Amino acid sequence: MDKPRNDNTFDATARLVRQAQAGDKTAMKTLILAFKPLIYKTAGPFPDFEDAVSDFNLDLIQAVKAFDAEKGVYFPVYLKDIMMKQAKKRWRKIKPEAEYFDTTDEVHPGTANTEDRADHHQRMHQVYKAMQYLSPAQQDIMRAYYLEGQPLKTIAARRCCKLETVRTLQKRGVKKLKEKLILKK
């Protein structure tokens, strides 16, 4: 799996996770401190805040131990998923009729954005890889329409063909991309 261009944060996190998995207590403490904003924000809505923080710290420790870097998921994304599942489960015990709201994107501007960028980069890499199965005309139309934001009418004029031809190529391209991306999962 390709890494994002600015992967220093991911390399440092991955290194800390490996060290913590090997039993390095300092690395584990560093991870707990690094993800403290996520833990505090996740525990924020709970009436027993201190207990929730303790539970989420334990979830972090278990996540570190269970994390498998070979699966191609970055640890922050993996951890956030676990935290949200645990928060929803905890919330159902406290107020079964109420809905837990995911507010962790407000935690720390860098944390959420980094996770989103990593997830977005991974998806875009898969889309670009799947685009190799499209015809050159479909690739051109997909780039112009989705990446450059050109209207189909403009693309048709540039390609000197009918609007319906461009629509058909675009729809078939989307269908083929969906097939390729779904088969990968």
DSSP at 83:
H
Cβ atoms of 120 and 51 within 8 Å: the answer is no
Among 69, 75, 79, smallest CA distance to 39 is for 79
pLDDT tens string for the chain (185 positions)? 444 444 455 678 888 899 999 999 999 999 888 888 888 888 888 788 888 889 998 999 999 999 888 887 888 888 888 888 888 888 888 766 555 555 444 444 444 455 566 666 677 778 778 888 889 999 889 888 877 788 999 999 999 999 999 999 999 998 998 888 876 55
With both helix axes pointing from N to C terminus, report the angle between 75-94 and 109-131 in degrees, rounded to the nearest 10: 120
Q: d(Cα 127, Cα 21) in Å, to the nearest integer? A: 33
Q: Would you tell me how many other CB atoms lie within 10 Å of the CB of residue 75?
A: 21
Phi, psi of 30 (to 5 degrees): -65, -40
Ramachandran area for residue 74 (φ above 0: left; ψ -120 to 50: alpha; else beta): beta
Q: What is the pTM of this model?
A: 0.49
pLDDT of residue 59: 92
pLDDT of residue 153: 92
**Residue 102 neighbours by CB under 8 Å, 6+ apart:** 84, 87
Q: d(Cα 56, Cα 45) in Å, to the nearest integer? A: 13
pLDDT of residue 4: 42
pLDDT of residue 107: 43
> 167 in helix, strand or coil?
helix
Which tokens is 175 given? Answer: 């269908």
